[in-house]
Amino acid sequence: NSKVIQTPRYLVKGQGQKAKMRCIPEKGHPVVFWYQQNKNNEFKFLINFQNQEVLQQIDMTEKRFSAECPSNSPCSLEIQSSEAGDSALYLCASSRDWGSQNTLYFGAGTRLSVL
């Protein structure tokens, strides 16, 4: 079973509503990634953190998406105004370090449906 915990497993929102999902990375993993997996199973990178600091994020994330990883609290990804095209599985992954040899460990994801 995954040690990266994502909640909720399922999230249903109307267009224009906020959608917020949470992630508890594996203990001792300061590096956190968020990916979007669409209905065709394609992965899209959204944002990554080291501890509380955002390191990289894509343009889409900068406009409607916000994310944070506060100290001693779960990480979160929030979509300010949901659109139908945001319907997807949102995967959180954590890693021990930045180095490329370090494996990303994934949670089971939050499946967002925007009606």
Partner 1 sequence: GDSVTQTEGLVTLTKGLPVMLNCTYQTTYSPFLFWYVQHLNEAPKLLLKSSTDNKRTEHQGFYATLHKSSSSFHLQKSSVQLSDSALYFCALRELSGSFNKLTFGAGTRLAVCP
For partner 1, the closer of residues 45 and 63 by Cβ is 45
Residues 24-53 that bind partner 1 (CB under 8 A): 33, 40-43, 45, 48
Yes or no: say if 20 and 82 are a contact pair by the CB < 8 Å rule.
Answer: no
- Least gap, CB of 18 to partner 1 (angstroms): 25
Given phi > 0 = left and psi -120 to 50 = alpha, else beta, which region is 51? left
For partner 1, the closer of residues 72 and 101 by Cβ is 101
Which residues are registered as beta bridge partners of 33? 48, 93
Sign of CA dihedral 12, 88, 78, 62: negative
In the complex, the residues that contact partner 1 under the rule CB under 8 A are 2, 4, 33, 40-43, 45, 48, 56, 91, 93, 98-101, 103-109
